Chain A
C-alpha cells in the first residue's frame, strides 16, 4: 500500500516536473551574440569592425546599406529582433543572462529608464553625446536623457494630431473640432446623424496613447531621475488625469466612442473602413494607416491639430517615438556610440527614414528643413500635414518622464480603464486604484516613494 502510494507519487512528480520545467526562469538567451552574429544585411567592408544593431524601423535595410557604404571604419550588422515588447523581452533576457545583447538597440523613449535601472545602458555623455544635442528636437532629447545623463540618441518622435474623415464629417455637417468640448459636440452630432460611425475609439489598452491624453491636461504621472534610482514620485491620479479620464468615461457611457482594443485586426480594419470618423494619432499614424487593408476606397482623409482643453493655451503631447541606445554588453562602447549617433544622425540616413519608413524625424536638420515642412502627402489629398499639424505639435512638446517599470504601469492602467469601461468603477476610482497598485509595486521593488 505504502509502496503504491510512493509509486504514484513518483509518477506524478516526474510528470509535474517535466511539464512545469519549461516555465522556469531560465531563458535560453536567444538572439545574436556579438561574436558569431548573423546579419540580415550584407557587410560591405569585411575588414572593418562590426557593431550589432537591433531595430525594427520600416525600410531600415536601406538605411543600413547607406551607412555601411558611407563608412569604411565600422560596419553595421543589423537584426530585427521583433517590434516593441517582443524585442524588449529578448533584451531583458540577455541582460539577465549577461550575454546575447546587441551593441546598439532601438528602444522607445518610454522604456529607457526601465533599462537604465538595470544598468543595461551606457551613459553616452562620455562619448560626446552632448556635442550633438543641438541637432535634435528639445522634447525628444529630454525624453532620452535623465538628469545630466544621456542614455540614447533620439531617432523619431510621435507628436500627436487628429486624422479625420472629411467625407464623414461633411455628410454629418460637422466642423473640425478644435477643443475637446467641440469634439464631444461633434460626437453627439455624428451619433444623431445615424450613419453608424462613432467619432473615435478609446482603447482600454491604449497605454502610451491614454497616458499622452492625460498629459495634455497637465498630468505628470512620474518623477524619476536615474542619478537617484531608488527614489520615485508617483502621481498617476492627479487632477489632469482624472479630468481626461472622466471626460472619456462620459463619452463611453453615452455610446459616443468605441472601446475596441487597439492594434488588433478588428481595430485596424475599423480604422480605415469608416467605423471611426477620427483617428487620434501620432506622427507615425499616417504611415500606419496607409499600410492597412480593407480601406474604404472613397475615404477622404485630412489632418488637423489635436483638440485642446484650453484653445488659448494649447498643450502638445507625444505618443511613442524611439531612440538608439548603447548596451553595457557592447564590446567597443565608443564605436557603438558612434554608430548610435551616426545611423540617422545625417541627412542621407534620416531622409531615407522619412521617405521610405514614414518616420517623423527628431534630427533637427531634417525636421527643420523646408522640404520636410512642404512635403505633400497623397494620402491626405496633397495636404502638407507636417506644416499643418505635426511640426507645431513637435515644437510644443516639452518631454515627459517615465517610470522604471513602465510596462507594469501600462498593464495596470489597462486593467483599471477596462474595469471603468465595464462599469465596475468610475474614472476617479480607477485612477486611485491605479495609484495604490503602483505605490505598492514600487515599495515591493525597493523604491522610496517621494
Chain B
C-alpha cells in the first residue's frame, strides 16, 4: 500500500522493512483505540458475566453435601442432572409449554401484525399501542396482577361466571395452572413479538403489493403468499426468542407459586429447580450443574431450530 515513501536509491533491508511495518503499526495503533472504546463494556461483560460463569462452572464440578465437605467430582453432577427424574420432569414441563405457548404467541402476534399492517387509521395506532402495553409491564408485576385476577375472591371471574349462573373455574388448581400460565405469558409477550413482525412488514416495498394486486391477488393471498414468506427471517428470530424464554421459564410460575404452592412445586421448571436447590436447600454446586445442564439443553434446542430453519432465516 503505502510504498511511495520508500527511498528509490537504496535497496537496503531497512527500507523494505519500513515499508512492511508502517501500515502494520498504524493498524495496531487503531486497534488499541478500538480496544479502549470496547473496554468499559468488556470489563463489565467480564466481571458480571464471564467470571461468574466460569466460577459457576467450576462449582458445578465439585460436590458439597450438608453432612460432608467439599469434594471434586468432575462430571458426576452432570451425569446426576441428566438422570435426575425431577430435572427431566421439569424439562418435560417446559417442553409442553413450548409446544403450546410458542404457537399461541406466534399466532396472536402474526395475526395482529398482519391486520395492523393493512389498516391505516388512528384505530390501528391505538390498537398497536394497546397490544404492546402488556410488554411494558414488568414481568413480576404482570404475574402478581394475574395472581389477583385468578383469585376466586378478588378476581372478576366469579362475578362474570355468576351472570350466566356458572361456577368460575379454579384457575390456580392443579388441572388449570398450565393454561393459566400460558395465558399470562401470551398476554405479556405477544405484543412484543407483534412489534417485531410489524416492523418487518413495514420494511417490505409496497410496490410488491401493487404488482400482486395487478396480478389479481386477494388480500389474503398477499398476506400468506407474499408477506409471511418475506418476513420469515423475523419469524425465525421471534420463535428463537420464545423458545429460549420458554425453556428458561421461571418468573411467572415462581411468582404464582406464592398463591398456588400445591399446584406449582418448587421444581416445576428446571430454572425453578436450580433456584430452589441453591437458595432454599443450599446445594450451590448441584444447582450450578443444573443451570449449565439447562444451558446445554437450550443450546441444543436452539441450534437445531436454527439449523432446520436456516433457509427461512437467511443464515444459509
Contact = CB atoms under 8 A, between A and B. Distances in A.
Interface magnitude class on chain A: 35 or more
Interface in A393-450: 404-405, 407-408, 411, 414-415, 417-418, 421-422, 444-447
Nearest to B148: A265
Nearest to B80: A444
Given A18-B49, A92-B279, A4 B248 contact: no
B25 interface: no
B261 A261 contact: yes
B19 interface: no
Contact of A446 (B65, B148, B261, B288): B65
Interface stretch (A20-28, A128-136, A215-223): A20-28
Given A17-B295, A408-B280, A23 B271 contact: yes
Interface string A14-50: 0111111101111100000000000000000000000
Contact of B52 (A1, A24, A422): A24
Contacts of A11: 306
Interface residues of B, number: 57
B185 to A, nearest CB: 16
A227 interface: no
Interface in B238-253: 240, 244-245, 248, 250
Nearest to B297: A16
A411 B280 contact: yes
A21 B52 contact: yes
B303 interface: yes
A13 interface: yes
A229 B60 CA distance: 25
A16 B298 contact: yes
B259 A25 contact: no
Contacts of A13: 299
A266 B302 contact: no
A117 to B, nearest CB: 5
B281 A407 contact: yes
B262 interface: yes
B306 A12 contact: yes
B316 interface: yes
B68 A8 contact: no
Contacts of A93: 279
Contacts of A16: 244, 295, 298-299, 302
Interface stretch (B90-98, B150-158, B221-229): B150-158
B67 A446 contact: yes
B109 interface: no
Contacts of B281: 405, 407-408
Interface string B249-265: 01000000011111101
Contacts of A7: 315
A208 to B, nearest CB: 14
A205 to B, nearest CB: 4
Contacts of A12: 299, 302-303, 306
Given A266-B153, A411-B266, A411-B280, A25 B299 contact: no
Contact of A117 (B66, B152, B285, B315): B66
A209 B260 CA distance: 17
A25 B59 contact: yes
Nearest to A117: B66
A61 interface: no
A404 to B, nearest CB: 6
Given A12-B299, A20-B298, A204-B261, A25 B56 contact: yes
A23 B274 contact: yes
A13 B303 CA distance: 8
11 contacts: A12-B299, A12-B306, A20-B292, A23-B291, A26-B59, A27-B278, A96-B282, A230-B68, A261-B259, A265-B154, A407-B280
Given A408-B280, A418-B262, A447-B66, 17 more contacts: A4-B316, A8-B315, A16-B302, A20-B292, A23-B274, A23-B291, A24-B56, A24-B57, A24-B292, A25-B60, A96-B284, A264-B151, A269-B153, A411-B266, A418-B261, A421-B262, A422-B262
Interface of B: 49, 52-53, 55-57, 59-60, 65-68, 148, 151-154, 174, 240, 244-245, 248, 250, 258-263, 265-266, 271, 274-276, 278-282, 284-285, 287-288, 291-292, 294-295, 298-299, 302-303, 306-307, 310, 315-316
